[in-house]
Structure 1
Amino acid sequence: MSPAQKNAAAARALRHLQGLRMWQHARHIGLYLAYASETPTDTLIALAHQQHKQVYVPRITGEGLMQMHELRAHDPCHRNGYGIREPRITRPIRPLRQLDLLLIPLIGFDPNGYRLGTGGGFYDRYLARRVGHHPPCIGWAFHLQLIPAVPRAPWDQPLDGIITERGMQWPTGS
């Protein structure tokens, strides 16, 4: 997809997301700063800030764990050792259980809610700390990333849903 096509698809996905109660009621949202072929999040982050939602994005610790740090509008970012943008300024960490919604990047996803990531396992380790389905974990994707089946390992964590430019897709079961 061209950058213009990606941005147009992300804008359509954003319109679908805004109609969901989970977005409307969320005040503390975990997002990500898009990297490589991931679905763009800049407009999503700007909207969240405009709606007075607190935004948290991942930072990778020296131990290889992921933590969600607050990202305020206009905070400077830099690229970490993986080439992924993260806030330069460390702000408060928000524990997973205190997020209202978590939007997750992916390379591919299947109808059962499993995702392909970039292979670092950061999100799987992070989601393993989740209790039940809180917070709701939603993939932020392009519909063309849907594949018949994602290879799974015992530690892979399914998503609660995936939102694309075509709307919300709920897992069909595993």
Structure 2
Amino acid sequence: MLNMNKYFLLVAAVVFIIISGCKQSEDFPDRPATNAISATESSGAVVSDQPIQPAQFCPQVGELTKQNDVWGTPDNKWRSFTHSSAKKILNFLGAQWVGVKVGKIICLYQTDEAVSFPLAVEQLVNQSILEPVGYGWSALTNGRKFCKSASVADCTYFIEPQKGISNIYEEIKYNPREDSEL
């Protein structure tokens, strides 16, 4: 019973952190949320010494601009790869992630075109996105996860941390004792 209470408290704390980070991003949409994650296992123990990463979000509707029939952000971090005759983006529809543990993310928007597919916007920077977890994301199905929401804050995701090269030789040293303990 005591272990169940500890598990419940851990889950409640994680949910609180995620929700408070999303709320923060809604209050200040121009600032990234300060909640962050590191690799953990189901018991809550940290299993990686990788740096903690801040939560990431799809662009807000107002951040997207149109140039030469293609939508994107002014900083060229996000862009659609299909031509669009839409004059305005109406709202955020959600996001889709595809991968195995790490992958790519696509953000979907509704435009003012009467008959069209949602506008898909992708990152131009080659970043690996960790498999999203949390409130807005569906279960993994055929290597895909979906987040249906009108708010980008519900579809948070995290970038895979870059590995430092300072101790690259230490990471690849073979230790036969570690294998025998398995």
TM-score by length of 2: 0.30
Q: Which has the larger radius of gyration?
A: 2
Q: Identify the structure with bigger relative contact order (alpha carbons < 8 Å, sequence gap 6+).
A: 1
